[in-house]
Amino acid sequence: MIINLKKNIIYIGQFKLKCSVGKGGIKKKIKEGDNITPKGTYSLGSVYYRSERVGKFYSKINCKIIKKNMGWSDDPKSKHYNREIKITENYKLSHEKLYRKDHKYNFIIPIKYNFIKPIKNKGSAIFLHLTKNYKPTAGCIALKMNDFLILLKLINNKTKIKIT
């Protein structure tokens, strides 16, 4: 199964799902923090979710419960750049907190952009996540909850996303 993203629409199976993308649009990603959603075809990571906020859901891919100390490194100085990290009190490098007060990360799926052998400053933490208002993102792809749940039912461990 391939997820096709064109402009602000995800095409998957018989579904067309509205989404938001990076403020900088869909282009070749240049650097960390450029607000661009990276053009290309990518594998997906596990589904991360806030168990106390979301009800039961169906997924054919691996799932991980988001814990308070979970983060994602977006600091090029880190040896864990563009990876899940454990946040400790002494952790000083830049990162995304996965356990957030807002509801954007109640569900996230990492898009494996710059992932296999991450190139420092090439971009990190590109996720499929939730939105309530379709405002542009910092480079991620955001869907409303009902559409995210539809997507979860359709994808599997071999699904790729094609961003054009």
Contacts of 96 (CB under 8 A, 6+ apart): 71, 72, 74, 125
Left if phi > 0, otherwise alpha if psi is -120 to 50, otherwise beta: which for 139? left
Domain boundaries, the chain: 2-163
For the residues 5-19, what does the mean pLDDT come to? Answer: 97
DSSP state of 29: -
Rg (CA), the chain: 15
> What pLDDT is attached to residue 146?
97
State pLDDT tens for residues 101-153. Answer: 999 999 999 999 999 999 999 999 999 999 999 999 999 999 999 999 999 99
**67: helix, strand or coil:** coil
- Topology (CATH level 3) of domain 2-163: L,D-transpeptidase catalytic domain-like (2.40.440)
Instruction: Note the pTM of the prediction, 2 decimals.
Output: 0.96
User: What six digits make up the tokens of 138?
Assistant: 């910092």
